[in-house]
Amino acid sequence: MVDHYGISVLQMMEHAGRSLANVARAVFFDGSVVGKNVLVVAGPGGNDGGGLSGARHLHNIGAIVTVVLTAPMDQLSSETSIQLNTLRASRVQISDPDTASLIGQDLVIDSILGYSLRGDPQGVTANLIRQINTSGVPVLANDIPTGIEATSGRVGDPAIKATATLTIALPKKGLAEPAAKKLVGDLYLGNIAVPPELYGRSFPESGDSVVTANPFKKSDIVRLW
């Protein structure tokens, strides 16, 4: 998308964030997030940027959003920093893990770690995962629940147990592995505006209809299971 079509990472983050907000609104709040408390927990990578974009879209449609950052500003990518600065300009509350609270939250959005994870989550990330899992608050994972390796499906210790997961562009292979699937919850596929012909070009020998055909002809959000 970047090399051949000139589509920027920031554009993709915007689409991912809008899809995340739409799934939150439709699946968890019966069509309206007005007055609902949503905690977005974001890490240092690209997954973080999609979560921050989703936080802003939720704020824009009436949710009471708090963002918890697990990494300092100097570790964020330039695109993620733009998302964070826009959130601050919108006066969305930004917290650090030490001051974050799950009390009174109606939904947690997990955008801590994505497909780049290798090994088990550590330190602050591991502590947050355990707090989220024991809180009883529903969880919407962005792209893949933190702690699951995207390709192998290896489940780390600890790993987020999601109520639902919004994966983007295409489902990651590891999500369907039996151990991982137990933590994914209901799986939705979100449109980040991949040019339709790119699916077939990227996976010419795949027999999977989700891959070989444009999956978003009827809707920008597709439920996979």
Is the residue at 86 inside a domain? yes
Is the residue at 3 inside a domain? no
pLDDT above 70 (res 203): no
Evaluate whether 190 touches 221 at the Cβ level (below 8 Å).
Answer: yes
Evaluate whether 76 touches 48 at the Cβ level (below 8 Å).
Answer: yes
32-85 confidence digits (pLDDT tens): 999 999 999 998 776 789 999 999 999 999 999 999 998 877 788 888 899 999
Is the residue at 56 inside a domain? yes
Is the residue at 57 inside a domain? yes
Is the residue at 106 inside a domain? yes
pLDDT above 90 (res 196): no
pTM of the model: 0.93
What domain range includes position 158? 9-223
List the one residue out of 178, 35, 27, 212 whose CA is nearest residue 109: 27
Euclidean distance between CA atoms 22 and 113, whole angstroms: 21
Euclidean distance between CA atoms 119 and 31, whole angstroms: 37
| pLDDT given for residue 180 in this prediction | 96
**The tokens of 91 are what?**
């006066």
How many domains would you assign to the chain? 1
Opening angle at CA 21, ends 146 and 183, nearest 5: 30
Is the residue at 219 inside a domain? yes
Evaluate whether 34 touches 28 at the Cβ level (below 8 Å).
Answer: no
Q: To which residue do tokens 């040019």 refer? A: 195
Evaluate whether 187 touches 224 at the Cβ level (below 8 Å).
Answer: yes
pLDDT above 90 (res 191): yes
How many other CB atoms are there within 10 angstroms of residue 218's CB atom? 7
Euclidean distance between CA atoms 222 and 184, whole angstroms: 15
127-141 confidence digits (pLDDT tens): 999 999 999 999 999
| pLDDT given for residue 74 in this prediction | 78
Which string of DSSP letters, residue by residue, matches 103-116?
Answer: TT-SEEEEES--TT
Is the residue at 121 inside a domain? yes
The interaxial angle of helices 78-89 and 9-23, nearest 10 deg, is: 50
List the one residue out of 188, 196, 189, 225 whose CA is nearest residue 212: 196
Is the residue at 104 inside a domain? yes
For position 166, which CATH number holds?
3.40.50.10260
Buried b (16+ CB within 10 A) or exposed e, 166-179: bbbbbbbebbebee
